[in-house]
């Protein structure tokens, strides 16, 4: 059975070096004014190092880790040093300095709960980062396959122009020889003009696709050409196994589970709002108006037990409980979404795969029909309308074949995202 892998960007330092070398190579080629070609894996590598969404996700994760350090500091030993001088009317100037240390001995387990909660927040940020990676990679694949499709369409449009140019030359030759009417020449000229307009449109679509790939990668790539082919049909997992993989791997459902667990912890943390605390403090003081100053030491154990807080703690507990209920409902909603996404993605892949052989058959039939039409025209039996229709049908069949291959590759990329990882 097909499995999906969660390891998307391992060995980041090596990948960063590779991405840097790739950027230098791109700059060198651009300076030389030569055409650049990019493979899909190269684009994914560049996106992994430079896309702003991934930088944002990494920063968010680092911020959550720093937040955990703040929570841990709540029970750490703290110290402060103070110094002052005072001069009153009719009295000598006095001096005072003190060094105080404080340690929280117990907060009835509140800090431990907060540490667990922050650990869940870190795990949530990590899943958000992984979701950002999957989203970026899916976007790069979509943009890359769109560029490949538009490149093939542009190539087919250019081939159509060359074909119509040949037909125009033949029509002129037949007309000059008296074998064909002027209509054939005019018709060939009109077909050539339409083909050139279609080529201009295809070039504009190709330029748009190049801009789309740059946006998906996160850096400007310039005029690039796609060299990686569309994906070949492959074995697909059955629906129960696919759902199992999605439930285990998808970042959104992992995040929903973490938030549900965090919601339950929030109730326990809120309940600690009026819990007793025990702290220990010690102070060393120097004070007086003459040197050497008098010294003194003090150690204090403080027990603090809140008596009433006007219902604040109860209100916070209620809020936390409602939040936990909402998190549980969100988890169930995400589970339903997963089921739909997996089923929909599988159906899309299978539908796109079924169209590929049909499109290939149409190409072969259209090519045979075009060969026959051109042969009839060259022998003087056929007419220019028959040839024009055959060329149009052949070009349409080729584009349909390219579109079917594109749709399959894009659908497979969507399936990978719906499973929460990429196929091994």
CATH number for 191: 1.20.1600.10
Say how many domains are in the chain: 1
Average pLDDT over all residues of the chain:
87
pLDDT digits (tens, 9 = 90+) for 161-195: 998 888 888 888 877 777 667 887 888 889 899 99
Distance CA 3, CA 61 (A): 27
pLDDT of res. 176 = 78
**In which band, very low, low, confident or very high, does the pLDDT at 213 lie, cut at 50, 70 and 90?**
very high
Query: pTM here?
Result: 0.82
Mean per-residue pLDDT for 338-351? 96
pLDDT of res. 28 = 46
Tell me the C-alpha to C-alpha distance, in Å, between residue 332 and each of 30, 217, 257, 346: 51, 33, 10, 22
Statement: residue 156 has pLDDT above 90: yes
- Give residue 348's domain range: 4-423
Statement: residue 88 has pLDDT above 80: no
Contact 412, 406 (CB under 8 A): no
Tell me the C-alpha to C-alpha distance, in Å, between residue 331 and each of 115, 123, 127, 193, 241: 23, 16, 15, 58, 20
pLDDT digits (tens, 9 = 90+) for 326-341: 999 999 999 999 999 9
**In which band, very low, low, confident or very high, does the pLDDT at 34 lie, cut at 50, 70 and 90?**
low
């Amino acid at each position: 059975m097909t499995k999906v892998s969660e390891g998307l960007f391992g060995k980041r330092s090596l990948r960063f070096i590779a991405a840097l070398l790739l950027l230098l190579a791109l700059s060198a080629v651009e300076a030389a004014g030569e055409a650049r070609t990019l493979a899909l894996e190269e684009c994914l590598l560049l996106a992994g190092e430079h896309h702003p969404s991934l930088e944002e996700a990494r920063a968010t994760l680092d911020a959550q880790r720093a937040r955990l350090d703040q929570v841990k500091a709540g029970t750490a030993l703290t110290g402060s040093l103070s110094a002052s001088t005072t001069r009153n009317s009719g009295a000598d100037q006095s001096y005072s300095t003190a060094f105080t240390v404080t340690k929280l001995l117990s907060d009835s387990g509140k800090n431990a709960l907060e540490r667990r909660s922050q650990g869940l927040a870190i795990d949530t940020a990590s899943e958000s980062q992984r979701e950002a990676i999957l989203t970026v990679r899916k976007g790069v694949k979509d943009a890359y396959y769109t560029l490949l499709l538009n490149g093939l369409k542009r190539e087919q449009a250019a081939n159509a122009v060359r074909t119509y140019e040949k037909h125009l030359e033949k029509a002129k030759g037949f007309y000059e020889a008296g074998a064909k009417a002027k209509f054939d020449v005019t018709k060939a000229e009109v077909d050539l003009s339409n083909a050139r307009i279609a080529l201009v449109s295809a070039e504009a679509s190709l330029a748009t696709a190049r801009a789309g790939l740059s946006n998906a990668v996160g850096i400007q790539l310039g005029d690039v050409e796609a060299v990686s082919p569309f994906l070949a049909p492959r074995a697909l997992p059955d629906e129960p196994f696919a759902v199992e993989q999605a439930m285990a791997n998808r970042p959104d459902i992992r995040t929903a589970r973490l938030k549900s667990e965090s919601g339950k912890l929030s109730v326990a943390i809120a309940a600690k709002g009026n819990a007793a605390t025990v702290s220990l403090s010690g102070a060393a003081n120097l004070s007086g108006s003459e040197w050497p100053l008098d010294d003194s030491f003090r150690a204090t154990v403080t027990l603090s037990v809140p008596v009433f807080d006007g219902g604040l703690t109860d209100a916070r507990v209620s809020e936390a409980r409602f939040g936990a209920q909402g998190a549980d409902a969100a988890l169930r909603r995400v589970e339903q979404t997963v089921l739909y996404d997996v089923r929909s993605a599988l159906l899309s892949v299978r539908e796109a795969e079924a169209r590929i052989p049909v499109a290939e058959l149409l190409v072969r039939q259209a090519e045979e029909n075009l060969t026959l039409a051109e042969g009839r025209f060259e022998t003087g039996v056929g007419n220019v309308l028959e040839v024009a229709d055959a060329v149009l049908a052949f070009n349409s069949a080729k584009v349909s074949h390219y579109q079917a291959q594109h749709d399959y590759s894009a659908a497979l990329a969507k399936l990978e995202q719906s499973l929460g990882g990429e196929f091994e």
